[in-house]
């Protein structure tokens, strides 16, 4: 089972999850610093203050990547390192870190893939309104420009945002992510301003000559609990709208889907969507990043008492997983990834895809065969999608290292490399060795 020539093999991380050094070299506080220090928000009171100490240990981490034969490494830049309070002149010492990292990667023959926003909004910008405020989108474009000026001579692959769905719906709707607000209107305003931020930054990066401009979404593979139920089919349409089409259509199909706008009209009058915004959001991209972990099963339950996992899903039930799950309790179903990739390719043709995250947390009490089988199954699913015509250019494992898993803190381990948080010792797991062999052969056993 051979992957196409030039298929990109790599791994991914994010700044707040691995860097630590939360106060070094002029870094300002982000919403995740505030959130993780707020009692009851993150498991066991964990914070990203030290994390994997990657800020100081990046040479060792790059050496580990090289030893596995990674061709690409996706990392994110911490906005509050670059602009401690989210605006104004760039902090050179913050940018120096990424400068050193990029040089180390290039020296090791690893392609640096930069994500500009993986959820660590400078706290000052949240204090000024956060993503529900339009100005934040403009601040993001300035920040993107500052990073591009420093790294654009060496970095080809630029991704604006990681999973704006999480930033908006979990950050401002359900409140399980920073900044922890629970306000449906704020969540939908955030969706728009995140997309606008992407469009403004994509335009600026393109004008500066960026090689490749992308955004990473976590598109849901939405499936009906009961394939014969009409109510469930309706639930699929609603969740596909709120989770997928509200992002994909303005990015890739010219504007917001009318059914989604009318669905959310009970939460917001949409006055924050201004003339010309959809055109800005639709700025051409070179790649769509896809993060996939688990399918989303839904059932309709019209008239049932409210609740809803996130705003707009009040009439929808998300049944608990059936079948095997990961250590997160997430259902393992690789075939849903094939379906999702083929659907993206069919509905949004001409945009190459890249799996920018896929992986699993497990308890890792011995050799991590369960992670190997998860990765193997999902790589086969990617291969199947390619055979059916989907233009998938690469695969990045989440994650290179065990790290700070947001509201689960350090309790959940996604790494192919184990991190002992007491000593910061790194130990490649069996899955890392397995992945090294897959990369070396560019194929899986048939």
Residue positions annotated with a catalytic role: 163, 357
Q: Which of residues 49-88 bind ligand FCB (CB under 6 A)?
A: none
Residue placing its CB nearer to ligand FCB in the complex, 278 or 402: 402
Does position 273 interact with ligand FCB (CB under 6 A)? The reply is: no
Q: How far is the CB of 416 from ligand FCB (least distance, A)?
A: 13
Q: How far is the CA of 326 from the CAs of 237, 330, 412, in angstroms?
A: 27, 5, 10
193 phi/psi in degrees, rounded to 5? -70, -30
Stretches 78-86, 160-168, 426-434, 436-444: which one binds ligand FCB (CB under 6 A)? 160-168
**Rounded CA separation 168/160 (Å):** 15
Which residue of 278, 357, 364, 376 would you call a contact of ligand FCB, by CB under 6 A? 357
Q: Is the peptide bond before 179 cis (omega within 30 degrees of 0)?
A: yes
Does position 163 interact with ligand FCB (CB under 6 A)? The reply is: yes
Does position 7 interact with ligand FCB (CB under 6 A)? The reply is: no
Residue placing its CB nearer to ligand FCB in the complex, 98 or 414: 414
Which residue of 169, 398, 410, 434 would you call a contact of ligand FCB, by CB under 6 A? 398
- Rounded to 5°, the CA angle 167-73-52 comes to 70
What residues pair up with 222 in beta bridges, in sequence order? 296
Residue placing its CB nearer to ligand FCB in the complex, 166 or 298: 166
Query: What are the start-end ranges of the H helices in 175-214?
Result: 184-208
Q: How far is the CB of 343 from ligand FCB (least distance, A)?
A: 20
Q: How far is the CB of 277 from ligand FCB (least distance, A)?
A: 25
Q: How far is the CB of 120 from ligand FCB (least distance, A)?
A: 11
Does position 19 interact with ligand FCB (CB under 6 A)? The reply is: no
Residue placing its CB nearer to ligand FCB in the complex, 132 or 359: 359
Helix axes 334-347, 369-387, angle to 10 degrees: 30
Site string for ligand FCB, 421-440 (x = CB under 6 A): --------------------
Stretches 148-156, 158-166, 252-260, 273-281: which one binds ligand FCB (CB under 6 A)? 158-166
55 phi/psi in degrees, rounded to 5? -55, -40
Which residue of 8, 137, 166, 204 would you call a contact of ligand FCB, by CB under 6 A? 166
Best CA proximity match to 140, nearest among 163, 122, 158: 122
Does position 382 interact with ligand FCB (CB under 6 A)? The reply is: no
**Rounded CA separation 65/413 (Å):** 18
CA torsion 124-129-135-140 (nearest 10°) is 50
Which residue of 148, 158, 362, 414 would you call a contact of ligand FCB, by CB under 6 A? 414
Does position 195 interact with ligand FCB (CB under 6 A)? The reply is: no
Stretches 32-40, 125-133, 162-170, 176-184: which one binds ligand FCB (CB under 6 A)? 162-170
Residues contacting 352, CB < 8 A, separation 6+ = 286, 287, 288, 391, 392, 393
CB-based burial, 331-370: b 16+ in 10 Å, e otherwise: bbbbebbbbbbbbbbeebeebbbbbbbbbbbbebeeebeb
Query: Chain centroid to CA 325: how far?
Result: 21
Coil/strand/helix, residue 334: helix
Helix axes 430-441, 54-68, angle to 10 degrees: 50
Q: Which of residues 274-313 bind ligand FCB (CB under 6 A)?
A: 291
Does position 218 interact with ligand FCB (CB under 6 A)? The reply is: yes
- By CB under 6 A, name the binding residues for ligand FCB: 14, 17, 162-163, 166, 218, 291, 357, 398, 405-406, 414
């Amino acid at each position: 089972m051979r992957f196409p020539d030039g298929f990109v093999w790599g791994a991914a991380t994010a700044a707040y999850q691995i860097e630590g050094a939360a106060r070094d070299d002029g870094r300002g506080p982000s919403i995740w610093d505030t959130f993780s220090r707020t009692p009851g928000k993150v498991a066991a009171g964990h914070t990203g203050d030290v994390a994997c100490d990657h800020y100081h240990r990046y040479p060792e981490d790059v050496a580990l990547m090289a030893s596995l034969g990674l061709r690409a490494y996706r990392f994110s830049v911490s906005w509050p390192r670059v602009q401690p309070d989210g605006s104004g002149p760039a902090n050179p010492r913050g940018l120096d870190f990424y400068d050193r990292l990029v040089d180390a990667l290039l020296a090791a023959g690893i392609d640096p893939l930069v994500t500009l926003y993986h959820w660590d909004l400078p706290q000052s910008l949240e204090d000024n309104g956060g993503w529900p405020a339009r100005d934040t989108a403009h601040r993001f474009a300035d920040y993107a420009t500052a990073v591009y000026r420093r790294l654009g001579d060496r970095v080809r692959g630029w991704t604006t945002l990681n999973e704006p769905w999480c930033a908006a719906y979990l950050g401002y709707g359900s409140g399980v992510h920073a900044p922890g607000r629970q306000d449906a209107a704020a969540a939908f305003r955030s969706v728009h301003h995140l997309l606008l931020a992407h469009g403004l930054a994509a335009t600026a990066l393109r004008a500066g000559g960026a090689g490749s401009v992308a955004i990473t979404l976590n598109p849901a593979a939405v499936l009906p609990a009961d394939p014969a139920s009409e109510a469930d089919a309706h639930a699929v349409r609603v969740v596909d709208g709120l989770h997928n089409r509200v992002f994909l259509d303005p990015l890739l199909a010219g504007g917001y889907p009318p059914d989604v706008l009318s669905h959310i009209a009970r939460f917001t009058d949409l006055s924050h969507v201004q003339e010309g915004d959809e055109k800005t959001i639709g700025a051409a991209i070179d790649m769509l990043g896809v993060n996939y972990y688990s399918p989303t099963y839904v059932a309709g339950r019209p008239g049932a008492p409210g609740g809803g996992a996130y705003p707009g899903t009040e009439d929808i039930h998300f049944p608990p997983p059936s079948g095997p799950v990961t250590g997160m309790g997430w259902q393992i179903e690789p075939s849903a990834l094939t379906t999702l990739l083929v659907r993206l390719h069919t509905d949004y043709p001409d945009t190459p895809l890249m799996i920018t995250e896929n992986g699993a947390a497990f308890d890792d009490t011995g050799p991590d065969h369960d992670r190997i089988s998860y990765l193997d199954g999902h790589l086969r699913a990617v291969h199947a999608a390619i055979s059916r015509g989907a233009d998938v250019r690469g695969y990045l494992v989440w994650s290179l290292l065990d790290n700070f898993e947001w509201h689960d803190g350090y309790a959940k381990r996604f790494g192919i490399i184990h991190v002992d948080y007491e000593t910061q010792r790194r130990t490649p797991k069996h899955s890392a060795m397995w992945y090294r062999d897959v990369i070396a052969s560019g194929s899986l056993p048939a």
